[in-house]
Structure 1
């Protein structure tokens, strides 16, 4: 019974329940501490779902201490996200060009609009990070993962995370996004990263082709050059359909052997080493995004 509940109810609970509660509380003017509580609830539910209904049992076990490293990444990057929300009043005063924000719209619709705009900016930076050498050096930290579970969503170099968030949020700040909408958006980003990298074997049916969740995002982490250049979206796969980068095959199974970077199998695993790696001198091969290997075919299934 609980397995069925997790398989079909976990994603709606996170997407609609946790985010919906965050939207309702923010609209009511509740303390931001409630949002922090919802985030902790989401993290707890993520770990519980992964253990009760894992996609891959071995991904629930730490590999060479990567659990401690991932906690460090999550703490630093989530703190940066919260700090950026707290700084929005100051930022808005300096970067807002015109108050064009649709304040008269229902609050939930305002948040949904912010999600779609942020999704476009983050997707485009993500897409560029697989094609521009200097961006790839920082983004490679995220692609060094060898197992797929909730905290991996925040396993990013803080400079790359900051660039993605600037691309997603700056257009919203220019037109006067309110702090409340930004707070609900920050919670939605954290919840989405937990879902997108979750080891829980949940299913969303036809929505798999629209929402950027774990079933589709696993294809993005395939380690072979050229194969993982798909499914760049954070919240949705709409932009991937338009970019021609959508890929999904429901029959495909994944293991740790399929994840990581084939061209850099010995990528540093310690937290501080990963922060330093993009700045270390290297040859052209290491500074450029991965290219398809000769003879390797991309067997992506397009919808």
Structure 2
């Protein structure tokens, strides 16, 4: 009975809780000048909520069980979140040396400043993500993220640290050039992590028509289809605005996803260990292959599944 009652709450309340509740708390903490340790604690709580929601209302029960990837994913998340926190910490130094003009709207309400930062960062990150599927040297590093065989919240934090650094730099650099304040950057860092948890979540939540606007799990699963070309869709981090403009938006309400459709068809034996994944982009085997394009039969099968 308890499970029956909690599932509708998660289905329709989990996303508002994370987007408005957790992000709202991050905004309030950052605006008050609270210690960054509070933001770290908030992020850990968000990760805990992510795991809890996935277990109470899973999209695919199998994806809740580690497949020899649990420790690796923890390593990716720990390293990448540490890098994110470090990058926020050096923003004052960067701002003092590279700010072109202080055009930041300091007089705006703090929440509007964070929203502006999100929208600007979303463009830079989305375009870098798009380029990472088109430029071979970038794909070498981005391929780590696409090696996943199950789709759950921690997958969003599973990235090669060099690729994450590139994406975040593309998103934050324009903000620093116009005078991004440290407190806004701190709130932005939390919203990025929360978004990645939601975007890759195994929770079977619903957001209605907003799935055509917000870059959440219903749309992002299409991005992780294993066939070259078919998975080159829905690149947005926060919104799908740029995908609509780029012509890369894709959604089919009848599709059901399984582990067999995830990963990379061209690289089914991609390394799974953490250190091996860090090294793979520098090896000859980490090059971009074009043999992963689906056959006509695979396209038809994918459409039916």
TM-score by length of 2: 0.95
Gaps of 5+ in 2: none
Answer whether contact 1:122 1:234 (CA < 8 A) is retained: yes
Q: If the length of structure 1 is used for normalisation, what is the TM-score?
A: 0.95
SS in 1 for 2:165: helix
Who is 1:133 aligned against? 136
C-alpha distance in 1, partners of 2:30/2:161? 27
- Cα distance 1:13–1:264, how it changes in 2: closer, same or farther (>3 A)? same
Classify 1:278/1:289 alpha carbon distance in 2 versus 1 (closer, same or farther; 3 Å). farther
2:18 to 14, 18, 21: 14
How many aligned positions are there?
298
Q: Pick from 258, 278, 283: which aligns with 2:281?
A: 278
Question: Aligned partners of 1:282 and 1:62: how far apart in 2?
Answer: 26
Report if the CA contact (8 A) 2:266-2:292 is conserved.
no
1:176 maps to which residue?
Answer: 179
TM superposition shift of 1:204: 0.4
The answer to whether the aligner puts 1:46 opposite 2:45 as a matched pair is no
Q: Is 1:59–1:199's contact at 8 Å kept on the other side of the alignment?
A: yes
**Correspondence 1:26 to 2:30:** yes
Alignment of 1:1-303 (within 5 A): 1-63=5-67, 65-282=68-285, 286-288=287-289, 292-295=293-296, 297=299
Alpha-carbon separation, structure 2, partners of 1:181 and 1:23 = 8
Please give the secondary structure, in 1, of the residue aligned with 2:119: helix
Contact 2:132–2:139 under 8 Å retained in 1: yes
CA contact (8 A) 2:264 2:292 kept: no
Structure 1 residues 106-154: Cα deviation after superposition (integer angstroms, max 9, x where no partner): 1000000000000000000000000000000100000000000111001
CA distance in 2, matches of 1:298, 1:144: 23
CA contact (8 A) 1:146 1:259 kept: yes
